[in-house]
Amino acid sequence: MGIDVLQEAVRTLESGQPAALVTVIASGGMTPAKPGFKMVVRPDGKTTGTVGGGALEAQAVQAALAAIRSRASTRLCFAEECGGLAQLGMVCGGEIELFVDYMSPGPEVWVFGAGHVGLAVGELAAFAGFRVTLVDDRPEYADEKRAPWAHSVMACDFVEAASKAPGGADSYVVIVTRGHAWDAQVLYEILRLERRPYYVGMMGSKPKVNSCFEGLRAKGVSDEALAAVHAPIGLAIGGDSPREIAVSVVAELVAARNGRDPKCLQGGAGYGGTSNA
């Protein structure tokens, strides 16, 4: 049973979807679940394996789906002093502790802007091992044929997409739209998310970034939130072509993924002379 469960978890992750692995880590009394029992839960609620069945398993599935949504692992404990499994209406009684392990398919970057810079950034990010979601409000730009390497392509309003961006340790956002007005709108929505991405970067010259930040402060965005934004985005390697900018940006993404804090363009002029349209 354990091998089947783990194989299904691997298949789910390889398909680009997250999963949750539920494991019985302690049990007592008459419960049929024993330590080591495992169950993998996919985002659609389908399961492989078991942690004992009945109301307990239904509760475990809901906890697993919540872990997938929040991208965070958790524990479930039904101890005797709290009523144990009887509180779930299970006649067998007993007590049990479960660990719900959120499993990520890997780091994901949302690239806002599918112009020549956004396209170059997305392609190189995919090559570097990121799952890429490419977003543009122009259907002719947000076209899967232009980005066969993308995990997902979204043709929709930038603000609407930004409000749906994932947060947490495996989430990255790169803002390279065709204009600074759109950049500011996307950044504002990202910073309003209840759970922010691990990395947020925005392209622009230093003066334009400062102007954008002033506008966001006027809307109530804190200095602390703005200080976490990588803007101007990228490493100071020189070069203004789309592919050179992509190397600069993706190098910073990889450094962030590896827990490094490289000297970036925030101390320099930034990329402002190249349009992403």
Q: Which CATH number fits domain 108-267: 1.10.10.10, 3.40.50.720, 1.10.10.60, 3.40.1280.10?
A: 3.40.50.720
* Rounded Cα–Cα distance for residues 194 and 166 (Å): 10
Beta strands in the chain (DSSP E): 19-28, 38-41, 47-49, 74-78, 95-103, 108-112, 131-136, 152-155, 168-175, 197-202
pLDDT of res. 14? 83
- Predicted confidence (pLDDT) at residue 170 exceeds the cutoff of 70: yes
Range of weakest confidence among 83-87, 222-226, 249-253: 83-87
pLDDT tens digit sequence for 17-59: 899 999 999 887 667 778 999 999 999 999 999 988 888 889 8
State the first-to-last Cα distance of the chain, in angstroms, to the nearest integer.
Answer: 53
Residue whose pair of structure tokens reads 């007993």 in the numeric block: 94
- Predicted confidence (pLDDT) at residue 84 exceeds the cutoff of 50: no
- Predicted confidence (pLDDT) at residue 182 exceeds the cutoff of 50: yes
Locate the domains of the chain by residue range: 2-103, 108-267
Q: State the Cα angle at 180 between 179 and 183, rounded to 5°.
A: 95
Classify burial at 134, counting beta carbons within 10 Å of its beta carbon; exposed 0-12, middle 13-18, buried 19 or more.
buried
